Structures are given as C-alpha cells and as structure tokens.
Amino acid sequence: MIAQAPFRLHRFHGGLHLDDRKALSTGTPIAEVPLPPLMVLPLTQHIGGAAKPCVQVGDRVRRGQTVAHAQGVVSSPVHAPTSGRITAIEARPVPHPSGLSADCLVLEPDGRDQPLDTPEWAPLPDFAAATPAQIRDIARAAGIVGLGGAAFPSAIKLNPGRVVDTLIINGAECEPYISCDQMLMTEQADEVVLGIQVVLHALAAPRCLVGIEDNKPEAIRAMSRAAEHDARISVVVVPTRYPQGGEKQLIQTLTGLEVPSEGLPLDLGIVCHNPGTVRAVGRAVCFAEPLIERIITVTGEAIAQPCNLRVRLGTLMSHLVAQAGGFTDTPGRVLMGGPMMGFALPALDVPVIKATNCVLALAPEQVRPTPEAQPCIRCGECVTVCPARLLPQQLYWHARAREFEAAEDLNLFDCIECGCCAMVCPSHIPLVQYYRFAKTEIHAAEAEKRLADAARQRHEARLARIEREERAKEEARARKKAALAAKTSAPSASPATPPPAATPAPAPTSAPAPAAADDPVAVAMARAQARRAANNAVPAPASVEPADGDGDGKPASAPPAQANSAEDDPVAKAIAAAKARKAAKAAAAPDADQGADPGADQGADERDPVATAIAAAQARKAAKDAPRASATPDAVAATDEVDPVAKAIAAAKARKAARAADVPSPSEPSAEADDPVARAMAAAKARKAAKVASATPADDDDPVAKAIAAAKARKAARDAAGNAPQ
C-alpha cells in the first residue's frame, strides 16, 4: 500500500537537485547477458577479509558451487557463476579507485551452465517456520552483501543483537543515470516483497518502510501492488533530491531521527537494506540460490543502447558494453557507478563484482576539464549543501596540513563523500579527494598502532610467562631442598647410638641387621660416620704398641688423633670408644674359651720356645684362611654388605681363635722341641711370616681392619721372638 498521512516526511540539511538522466536506460526491459568466454572472480568483492580459494587450477566446477570460503566474520564467500574449469588463480586488474590488481580465480565456462546436483544448503520455502539463525546462516553461505554499493556482508545486519522496530528499504536511487533498482522494483516487485518478508521474520521487526523517490512512478505502483496484502509493508514516496539515497538522509526523511555522529542506524532500532539485497536473501532462503548475478545499468551518452542487464558476476565489462551496442564514439570517461560517487575505470578488462551497479560511459563533451584548483575564498557554499552538517572548508585545511586529529575532531568520518561540496566549490578544489586521503592515512595509522599494540602485548605475555616459569622452578627447588633437609635431620634428631657394625657379632657367619634398614640415607650416613670414627680410633700400624710390657695384646689408650676427632664429633667419639673396647675383648676371648691356665702357658713357653714360635706361625697361617673356610657364603656376603668394621673384627677374632687352638699343650711337646736347629728355623720362619702378615692387609676395603691385623701380627711376632733361643 502507499503510505499517506501517518508518515509525515522530514527534510535533511543541504543537498542538490540534479538532472537524473534515468530515462536513457529505463525504456527497455531487463535483458539477459549470454555467458562470456572468460570470467574473472576477484576474491575481494566485499568489505572485510578476502575469501580463501577452495579449488585448484584445473578443477571443474558447477554453477552455484563455492569456490572460495569466507575468512573471518566480516567476509563473504565466492561462488561459481556457471559451470566450467578453473584455469588460473592469479592477480588480475579489479575495479577499484587505486587501479591495482588483486588475487582472482579465472573461470573458463563450458557453455552448459550445469548447476549442482544438490544445493549446498536446503531451501526453506516455508521461511516462517525457520529460525532467524537459519536465515542468517543461509545469507552468509550464499555470499550476500549490500548491493547498493557498500558491499557490507548482509548476514551481519541480519544479526543485530538488539530490538529492531523498523526495516527500511532504500529504493530512492538518487544518483543520476543509475536505474538498476528502479527496474528491479518495477519488473520483479513480487520477489522484492518476498525478500522483505524473509528479512522481517529474521529481524522480528513489526514494520517495513520502502522509500522511493517520486521520479519513479512505475516502481511505486508495482511495489504498492505487490505489498498490498501485507500490512507490515508501506511504500513511502519521498522527494527527489540528491543525496536522498544516503542511508542517514533517508532515515531522517522517513522518521525524523538523526543517526548519531559515528553511529549506526541500529542505534535507533532501524536496519536499512537495498531492494536487490532483500531479493537475493529471499532467493537464497526459498530457492537455495547463492549470489552469482545482479542487475547492472549500462548507460551514458557514449553507449549505443543504454539498458539494464542481468549479469553473471565475473563477466568482463567489455562484454557488457558489447551487449549494449558498444560505444557510439570514443568516451570521454568510463566510470563504475554514477557521476557523483563513481570512479574512473582504467580499462574495460575488469570484471563485474557484487558492488557494481552501473557502467557509465560519458561523451567527451560531458566531461568537464579538470581546472586548476584555486585558493579557497571562504564563500561557505560547501557548508550550505553538506547533508551531514559538516564544515568542509575546515576539514580541507586540516587534511591538507596533515592535521588528522583535528580533522577527526570535526567529525571527518561522518562525511559520506557525496561530492556536493566539490560540485559547488567556485575554486574547483577537489574536496572529496582530500577527505579520502585523510581517512586513508588515519586508517593506516590505526592499523600500525594495532600492530604495535599486538607486538607489545605479545612481548609482555612472553615476559610474564618466563617469570611464571622461573617462579615455578624456584618453588620446586625450595620444596626439594626442604624434603632433603627433613630426611637429613631425622637421624641427627634421634639419640646417638653406635652403628650396627659396632655391636658385638655372635659369630663370624652371622651378619648383623642394619639398625636403620627403613632409611637408606640414614644407613649411608651412619656408615660414613662409623668409618670416620674408626679411622680416628685406630692409629697407624707404626704407632701401635702394647699398653704395658707383659705382651697381653690389650690396646693402649686412644692416640691424640682420636682425641682430636672425638672433640670435633661426639658421636664419632662414642663410636671409637665402643670399637676400642670391642677390640680389646676380642683379643682376650680365645684364652678364656680354651680354659688354659696362664701359668701353664708360661711354663710351656719357658720349656719349649721353638715349639711356641712354630705354633705361632701355624696360627697366623690358619688365621688367614679361617674367615673364608669357617663362614658360609651367605654369611660372608651378608657380613660384607653390613659393615667393613664388623668384618675386620670378626676376621681378627677368627685368627686369634685359630692361633689359640693350634698352640700345643705342655703335656704334648712337639717333636721339634729337642732340636735347637729346628727351633732356630721355626723362629726365623715366624719372624718372616710376621713381616708378611704385617705387609698383607686383612681387608683391602677397610683401613681399620688393616691396622688391627698389622698390630696383631706384630704382637704375635714379638711373642714368638721373645720365646725363641737367643
């Protein structure tokens, strides 16, 4: 329906009345363009990140197949506009004000225009039963962007994240020459209304306003008829004034609300879409068609047959011009877009992209020569016509002086680059170019700052990580040190007791059990302390002398070295004293075991000194073999494992016992007692055996055992020498 009284129109500031020149291209219906021999698909046909190819050179594709995936939220996929073969993925010229090249997929059509056997998503003819999320996902998968020129991904607008109370369809199409939206609303109003209904469902908006300028009566009638059965949709006729098609200006005209500076229509609960955009959404949701074509106006005084064409994306613009009859004369300038906001094309070998709405070829006489810019005369005309209520003159001065912060303070980014200020400037200053330059520099500075901030954050994160790792290592070392200290302090905190080696052994064949078998560290420490105490308790062999002159084998008091060690370590002192007492007892034990009378022994020695020497030599020999012969292998192994001090004491006791056992009693004199020569030889052998015994260590593994064995050997030698004949 056509809105009447309920919609009071408002007026935006500034603007111009221009000759629209639309009649050139609206006299004929929309025509289909045949498939070209070559198609070029840029990977960047939208605002945001470039799409990433998902096909390889040589791959065959079908119509509607995805050939490049979106990268990031603000991005859009690319689909094959027809069936054919990918012949290259390379940089090609693209339609852009810079004239630079960009990465493109080159498609060679096979002429069959084969669609996919199964669409990449399921169509939803009953879209009212679909969820808003489903509609958004389909719009994103279909690669739909704003077809009014901005090319912003439409899926983002369909996910506002807040309440939307009004959907506005921008059908004003205010720029001269362009008539693609007008012809779309005139010929395919039903499809446009279908798309409006789908978008209303996705946004849950209660109403839609379709704004159409009053110079398009056919489009107004067609849209009114198509929307008459849906009370939510209202067609509103707005006055023709440039730039009525600006988003902010149309919102102000229809609602009287002004979008805040650097704000969005969504801040007012409003979402705007182009007629071609909502039609593409409807086709994608209901028929599973991706965005692979659009309507383009080919017009201008230099075009033989201006018209509107339905064109597959990727078609070269030279092919479009040929379909419109070619040029009547060499054009003065070829633009993509309109004469106010379009940009010149360096050549016609660039492809049609999603943002292409018009190819305009101006005759040479229509192109105004670019005069040399003159100094600003401060007339203020630019301020009068600016629809954004800016100060174009001040912005110009700051942009020219590269004072970008000052330009931002004057709301530079509210400029819609409509060109009204440059058109009315008597000094012919290219104001819009200065504003674009300033915006580009600011964007570049912000991008550089973002990179620097990201690098700084990475560096700070790395330092924090290193600090955490070092702190964790220090804590681990501290825990380990505390655990070792606890283990070390456990034995020292208990009362000092002699190590297992210092306790009397019941027999050479039995090995004493460790006192601290449950703690290997304590056992090792006890053994080390025992060895140190034994070294200090037993003096060197050269200094071992009997305590008195009676030769009874009892050791003398501890030497000064032992006293010094005992003073340093009370534990070692106690261990040394215990070992000394144990050695003394072991030396006296054999005589008591035999039950012999000391007087009888003395009498025997006096009666037969040679026999006594022979017996001593035999005793020493038997003593050397006694430990190995008398002990079982298991007992010996157990004794070796327990303590070297205990082994030495056991060996000494064994030798003493063997010596006592081999000495003949007085009632059994030896046969050699009557022969002085034999006695002399026995005495010599005894002395030699004593020397060998003193030179041979009793136990290579323990200096205590070696010292005890040497002392006992010397004692035995002296006893034998004292009884031998002089």
At 196, list the tokens. Answer: 């409006």
Q: Which residues of the chain have pLDDT under 50?
A: 4-5, 496, 498-517, 538-567, 589-607, 627-642, 662-674, 696-700, 725-726
Whole-number Å distance between alpha carbons of 534 and 577? 9
- What pLDDT score does 530 carry? 74
- What pLDDT score does 714 carry? 76
Whole-number Å distance between alpha carbons of 242 and 338? 12
Going across the sheet that includes 270-273, the strands are: 233-238, 208-213, 166-171, 270-273
- Quote the DSSP letter at residue 216: -
Burial per residue of 14-39, b for 16 or more beta-carbon CB atoms within 10 angstroms, e otherwise = bbbebebbbebbbeeebeebebbebb
Domains of the chain: 22-366 (3.40.50.11540), 371-493 (1.10.1060), 501-723 (no CATH)
Report how far Cα 179 is from the mean position of its chain's Cα atoms: 52
E runs forming strands in 574-614:
none
- What pLDDT score does 4 carry? 43
Long-range contacts of range 346-349, CB-CB < 8 Å, 24 or more positions apart? 346/93, 346/99, 347/93, 348/316, 348/317, 348/318, 348/321, 349/93, 349/316, 349/317, 349/318
Burial per residue of 43-54, b for 16 or more beta-carbon CB atoms within 10 angstroms, e otherwise = bbbbbbebbebe
Contact at 8 Å (CB) between 652 and 620?
no
Name the 3-class secondary structure at 20.
coil
Q: CA dist 560 to 134, 319, 537, 557, 670, Å?
A: 99, 117, 9, 9, 45
- What pLDDT score does 475 carry? 94
Whole-number Å distance between alpha carbons of 224 and 486? 92
Q: Whose CA is closest to 341, among 245, 274, 440?
A: 245
Whole-number Å distance between alpha carbons of 689 and 677? 18
Is 113 exposed, middle or buried (CB count within 10 Å of its CB: 0-12, 13-18, 19+)? middle
At 692, list the tokens. Answer: 């060998």
- Quote the DSSP letter at residue 511: P
Name the 3-class secondary structure at 89.
strand
At 584, list the tokens. Answer: 């003394």
Residues recorded for the chain: 726
Predicted TM-score (pTM) of the model is: 0.65
CA dihedral 422, 427, 433, 439 (to 10 degrees): -90
pLDDT digits (tens, 9 = 90+) for 429-471: 999 999 999 999 999 999 999 999 999 999 999 999 999 999 9
Burial per residue of 186-204, b for 16 or more beta-carbon CB atoms within 10 angstroms, e otherwise = bbbbebbbbbbbbbbbbbe
pLDDT digits (tens, 9 = 90+) for 498-513: 444 444 444 444 444 4
At 158, list the tokens. Answer: 């369909």
- What pLDDT score does 527 carry? 75
Contact at 8 Å (CB) between 376 and 414?
no
Contact at 8 Å (CB) between 43 and 51?
yes
- What pLDDT score does 675 carry? 59
Could you tell me whether strands 208-213 and 307-312 are parallel, antiparallel, or unpaired per DSSP bridges?
unpaired
- What pLDDT score does 477 carry? 93
